[in-house]
Amino acid sequence: MQFNILNAGKQTGTTKIKALIYGDSGAGKSFLAASAPRPLVLLTEPNGQASIMHSNPSADLIHISSTKMLGDILKSLTENPKQWEKYDSLIIDSLTEVQRLCKDDLTNKGRSPMKLQDWGKLADFMRRFMRALRQVPKHIVCLALLEAQIEEGTGLRHLRPAFEGKKTSGEIAQFFNFVGYLYAGENKEEKKTYRYLMLEGNSQILCKPTFPLTGTVKDPNISSIFKKITGAK
């Protein structure tokens, strides 16, 4: 049996990055994601279209209405790469809504309550979906809403991507090269508001850096971030 052995140092510019960015509604997630190189946006949240249009008018969109439609597109991206050659990046806007689409399937669009076994099916779906994403030969940028939890007793506020079910929330970071929390902050001296992408924070904020991308990035741009990580010119 022969094995395809690659030298890590010679993969400059060829590595495909998988990123998860989460934040409050209106933080600028869709606007930021559209700055990825030659993006195709799978849009489950129509509100993001206006931001994408202003950020990158050349970005292409597909409105996703079902998990089957989403699965068919991922399968085509993997099995028929030539059909999708014009795109370098795939944007999922958003993972939070993708999970809700699956939950709609399990509950007949909310007409039936979630059963105990359904929560396991929901976690399995998200796990399979993330593994399918990893097979797509593109850069991947997934967006998610923010979930804030208050710790009883201490009152500490914990921030993480918004997903239902402990399994998904606990496992999600392993599927990505980096996980960033996007927020807006005012520079009082300049009297101007900037976006910040936090990649390293305290234990209350779910983040995941990847060398050489660390700390907090001011006014981030996805194309620039990808070039920094991959070493591409």
The pLDDT tens digits of the residues spanning 103-113 come to 999 988 878 88
Biggest distance spanned by C-alpha atoms of the chain: 64
The answer to whether 220 touches 194, Cβ cutoff 8 Å, is no
How many angstroms separate the CA atoms of 102 and 84, rounded? 25
pLDDT at residue 11, as a whole number: 54
Pair type for strands 192-198 and 178-187: antiparallel
Is 13 a residue whose pLDDT tops 90?
no
pLDDT at residue 125, as a whole number: 93
The answer to whether 128 touches 122, Cβ cutoff 8 Å, is no
Which residues are CB-contacts of 41 (< 8 A; sequence separation ≥ 6)? 33, 34, 48, 52, 59, 60, 61, 62, 91, 93
Q: Compute CA 20 distance to the chain's CA centroid, rounded to the nearest angstrom.
A: 3
The answer to whether 200 touches 216, Cβ cutoff 8 Å, is yes
pLDDT at residue 149, as a whole number: 86
Amino acid identity, position 147: E
The pLDDT tens digits of the residues spanning 81-118 come to 999 999 999 999 999 999 999 999 998 887 888 888 99
**Tokens (6 digits) for 159:** 């921030």
The answer to whether 14 touches 233, Cβ cutoff 8 Å, is no
Say if pTM beats, i.e. exceeds, 0.85: yes
